[in-house]
Structure 1
Amino acid sequence: MKIIPFIKPLALTTLFAVAMVSCTDLEIEETDSIISEDTGEFTFTPLADPESSLNDLFNKVGGDFQTQENMYALSEVTTDELVVPTRGTDWGDNGLWRQLHNHTWNSAHNFIKNSWNTLNQNIYRATEIMESNGSAEITAQAKFLRAYNMFFVMDLFGSVPFRELDEGPDVDPRVLTRAEAFDFIETDLMEAMPDLPTTGPDVTMTVRASQEAANFLLAKMYLNAKVYKGQDAFDNADMQRVIDLVDAIHAKGFEIESNGYFQIFEPTDDTETIFYLRSEVAAKIWNSLHYNQNAPDNTGGGWNGFSTLAEFYDSFEGAPNSNFEGDGQEERRGIVFDNTNANDQNLGIGYGFLIGQQYDADGSRLKNRQGQDLVFTKEIPNLVGNTEATGMRLIKYHPFDPIPDDDSSPLIESFRRHTIFFRYSDAHLMKAEAMMRMGGDPTALVNELRGNRENTPALQSVTETELLAERGRELFIEIWRRNDLIRFDQYTAPWGLKEVTGDPDKNLFPIPETALLSNPNLVQNPGY
């Protein structure tokens, strides 16, 4: 009997638990694979209900990307935007989080293994739906989901294994190089395009794939083509494609939201959201907030983990050591409500960067668990040995987003299950960058965006460094920071509390050892 491994579903990570460190035993077990006996024959049986399977896959992808771990952690905690310091024994977790910030991970890291398995499993499921005789739109939606998940495998790991549906367990999946995966994804999106719906900014529609979402993902690919294809320089033809795709999105009514920056992240209509997933946003709220910061539906308070670095905070305009109203900060840096202003409406928890004294909804000073004033510090001296108030906190989705009054509203279904992945301001900045890569001046486009953000003055000029900073200010904790830093050759640069710098091999994560054992066609990435 020949034992053949297949990728199988992994249990979704529970929102309110921090993942345990993975075992280093490299023996393939049933938790890693489906173990099948090779009979020498294999026939794919189409799915009985491809529409239901598509719905299930959208829900699964939403669950995969809602967690604070796995793809989110690899994309954000490994950057200068987020750090998870150990406070006492909290968030120690055998160094899982510190390894990400320090760039000292290895192929046994549990988040790396989980991401690999989850994304590749979704690719196979999407392929099953595509080949199951569903409608043209169902097939196009499945192609989009396959492209979406393959994009992240390509981006995070480089090599992409792929199994055809008519290949039995005696066939080791072929492995696409990064450049081949690029072409594969491009083909999927282009083939899906005619059968995808076209939609403007409508919260009831942008939860599924559309031509505009496909255009966005294609623009993201072309903007990063230099990285994915291993080219020496940005290609003008690729940059022009980015511009054309963004213009096509804009032509469908998407534009920069001018009615408040943080309003974009409420589960209501805005002019920016191109594609969102029905993903819980709880982790992106409570993983950062202190134990004593709470809301009516979460009286247990936050989990006191995720913070940001002082240098990232300092890239925004405003007072260097405070973020209260009147500190001169730009809108995107947010606000700490001190409740002395009637306009603050006793919200308690602020928006954006939370620094200094924190307040309860009744205007009183919040205390830490020792009864002292809860004052978040700007600096984090070390990754270990911190107090429970060490470090600024960072949130975009707010626990007090209003629930719609009308119980029949379609927004009820998406309330707090509304995680934005593609939005127009990102596309707008991609266009500005594409112009810059072609030798043009992106200043006017960047200032167009800034002009729609309160208290955000125009820039006199926009260099490459300034454009990267602007992407950080606009898109923080939206899963794109690692992608941006690599494209700007800054991912291996030094930043606060980071241990390993200057190692280009860290631009890719290692392929998990279990995957290498499962498929001899895979080759480990350099440096691991």
Structure 2
Amino acid sequence: MKIRTIIKPFALSALIISALISCTDLEIEETDSIISKDTGDFTFSPLADPASSLSDLYNKIGGDFQGQDNIYALNEVTTDELLVPTRGTDWGDNGVWRQLHTHTWNSAHLFIKNAWNTLNQNIFRASEIIESNPSPAIIAEAKFLRAYNMFFVMDFYGSVPFREVDEGPKVNPRVLTRPEAYAFVLQDLTEALPDLPSTGPDLTKTVKATKEAAQFLMAKLYLNASVYSSSGEFDSADMDKVIAAVDAITASGFAIESEKSYFEIFEPTEDTETIFFLRSEVAPRIWNTLHYNQNAPDNTGGGWNGFSTLAEFYDKFEGDPNTNYEGDGQEERRGIVWDNTNANDLNLGIGYGFLIGQQYDSDGSMLKNRQGGPLSFTKEIPSLVGNTEVQGIRLIKYHPYDPIPDTGDDTSPFIESFRRHQVFFRYADAYLMKAEAMFRKGQTAEALTMVNTLRSSRDNTPALTSLDESSLLDERARELFIETWRRNDLVRFNQFTSPWALKEVSGDPNVNLFPIPETALLSNPNLVQNPGY
């Protein structure tokens, strides 16, 4: 496997770590869709410094998408990819995690409400920037960010409330239907494109809106058009637009990474795949899955022992079904558990990807659980409650030993930005979107060739001999696990309502949309609750 042997620690944010440990934020934020007081007549005052407000919005979105709850949980914990089993009293949290995984949520669910408020607030803030007469470049970036947030409101809830900046709290926001929201997002991206910069792989530029990031989001729109229109049919013209958008990204220099290992793509260093990343602290992607006794030099407090994956998801990968040590025949993307020999030689400790079986410390010693027994993660999780602290395979893409570029100044803003680096739009995703579009057009042989080209770039990953919907969905799972797209994929492939281990509820198409939060319905009579809620 292409795993590097020189590793440096990076500093983690103690504030983020302490705030996110198996907790739920009960604070309610006022947003443009929740009206709490009457202020009389309203006049919009343009922002004094739109550029500064744009920077603030980037930072806010980075924070909104970094947590383990809310937006991330709706995208991942609702799927067969992630679950948060209750171990003793840990991670009980009044059932909020279990309800997501079993699709038994309701309109009062805290994460559903928080995601709604956060995304709609970001939409309104972007509108304020756009309407403050800034430069064309700032307008373009703000339109991209508005489209980015509206995409997720449309994807999660269907209906999208929209308030014009010159409408005061006496005016109830109008509500865009899903097709209207689709058109709105597409218009924002289309209008933004001419004034967005174009870039190839470049960490100093891909943290902001670019033509390539807009083209990526356009490809997502076109690929999911059948869902957002409720037609259920993949239109060939839409698939052609997916292909054209991805081809434009390719022409800018993005490509499947061939020089680095798979997990090095997620380091805060240059690669050929990162199209857009958020300045998001990656601590929740690391510590929410690891056991309390797994640690790194900059976090001797260990992990939070929460997030796990299902045995059936792990079994989608090549390799020994019961272990993941080096030499077990696993494909590169499934990762590795360092055994004591490797840990001694390379000073690694925590592994990559899917962590199953005995875990080791960086000195090569076998780790123990809090009761003094072997820290050996089991494959099966018998229930969502009543589990021991070692049940469930853990999974990790970002790593506590990832290096920071050496610029000679560890306090520089450049260095600080590298400590907050969550990859959100990746070329491999765009590449698989193109392959899927070709498959939907009936070009199965060409799509299979594309998929196998990607697989050949990942070590120990044999070629597929055929391609159908199931194998294409599985390939996206193997390549893109815990990258925030699993729910979107399952809905598009009509598999979100299918049963999987520990989820008894199935077959109800209404759960393809989340409910409109109760607070939003009370504050805006123009909203109508989604069917089934």
TM-score where L is the length of structure 2: 0.93
1:431 aligns with 2:434: yes
Moved more, 147-156 or 131-140: 131-140
Instruction: Report if aligned partners of 2:343, 2:360 keep a CA contact under 8 Å in 1.
Output: no
Inter-partner Cα distance in structure 1 for 2:79 and 2:274: 24
Match of 1:320 in 2: 321
CA RMSD of aligned residues (A): 1.8
**2: CA distance between counterparts of 1:22 and 1:525?**
25
Amino acid at match of 1:240: D
1:467 aligned to which of 472, 485, 491: 472
Amino acid at match of 1:457: P
Any idea what SS the aligned residue of 2:20 has? coil
Inter-partner Cα distance in structure 2 for 1:342 and 1:496: 33
Supply the distance in 2 between the matched residues of 1:460 and 1:175 (Cα, whole angstroms): 47
Q: Which runs of 5+ in 1 are unaligned?
A: 1-11
Give, as a single letter, the amino acid of the residue that structure 2 aligns with 1:422: F
Give the secondary-structure state (helix, strand or coil) at the position aligned to 1:95. helix
**Per-residue deviation, 1:410:** 6.7
> Which residue number in structure 1 is paired with residue 194 of structure 2?
194
Partners of 1:88 and 1:385 within 8 A in 2: yes
- 1:54–1:479 Cα change, 3 Å: same
Contact persistence 1:85–1:98 (CA under 8 A): yes
CA–CA distance in structure 1, aligned partners of residues 52 and 453 of structure 2: 42
Which residues in structure 2 correspond to 1:19-418 (within 5 Å)? 19-20=23-24, 33-39=34-40, 41-258=41-258, 259-341=260-342, 345-408=346-409, 412-418=415-421
Give the corresponding residue for 1:458.
463
**Residues 465 and 344 (structure 1), Cα distance of their counterparts in 2 relative to 1, 3 Å cut:** farther
Aligned residues between the structures: 512
Q: Does the CA-based 8 Å contact 2:50-2:129 persist in structure 1?
A: yes
Mapped to 2, the partners of 1:145 and 1:371 lie a distance apart of 49
Residue type matched to 1:165 in 2? V
C-alpha displacement of 1:42: 2.1
2: distance between equivalents of 1:37 and 1:159?
Answer: 25
1:43/1:166 contact within 8 Å kept: yes
Deviations 1:112-143 (A, max 9, x none): 00000000000000000001121111110000
Q: Secondary structure at the match of 2:423?
A: strand
How many angstroms apart in 2 are the aligned matches of 1:21 and 1:527? 27
**8 Å Cα contact 2:342-2:348 kept in structure 1:** no
SS in structure 1 at match of 2:353: strand
Q: Please say if residues 404 and 411 of structure 1, whose CA atoms lie closer than 8 Å, have aligned partners that are also in contact.
A: no
Q: Distance in 2 between matches of 1:414 and 1:331?
A: 28
Q: Distance in 2 between matches of 1:346 and 1:13?
A: 24
Q: Give distance in 1, aligned partners of 2:442 and 2:147.
A: 30
Q: Conserved in 2, the CA contact under 8 Å of 1:355 and 1:392? A: yes
Matched-pair contact (CA < 8 Å) for 1:277–1:419: yes
Amino acid corresponding to residue 48 of structure 1 in structure 2: A
Shift of 1:445: 0.4
**Do the aligned partners of 1:21 and 1:96 also contact (CA within 8 Å) in 2?**
no
Deviations, residues 413-456 of structure 1 (Å, cap 9, x unaligned)? 22331001101000000000000000111100000100110001
Change (3 A) 1:170 1:484: same
CA distance, structure 2, for counterparts of residue 389 and residue 145 of structure 1:
40
Tell me the alpha carbon deviations over residues 158-205 of structure 1, each in whole angstroms, 9 at most, x when there is no partner.
000001112222211100000000000000000000000000000111
Amino acid corresponding to residue 416 of structure 1 in structure 2: R
SS in 1 for 2:340: coil
Please give the secondary structure, in 1, of the residue aligned with 2:264: helix
Q: Which amino acid aligns with 1:225?
A: A
Give percent identity, aligned residues only: 73
Letter in 2 for 1:470: E
CA contact (8 A) 1:268 1:411 kept: no
With normalisation by structure 1, the TM-score equals: 0.94
Which blocks of at least 5 consecutive residues in structure 2 are unaligned?
1-15
Does structure 2 conserve the Cα–Cα contact (< 8 Å) formed by 1:159 and 1:178? Answer: yes
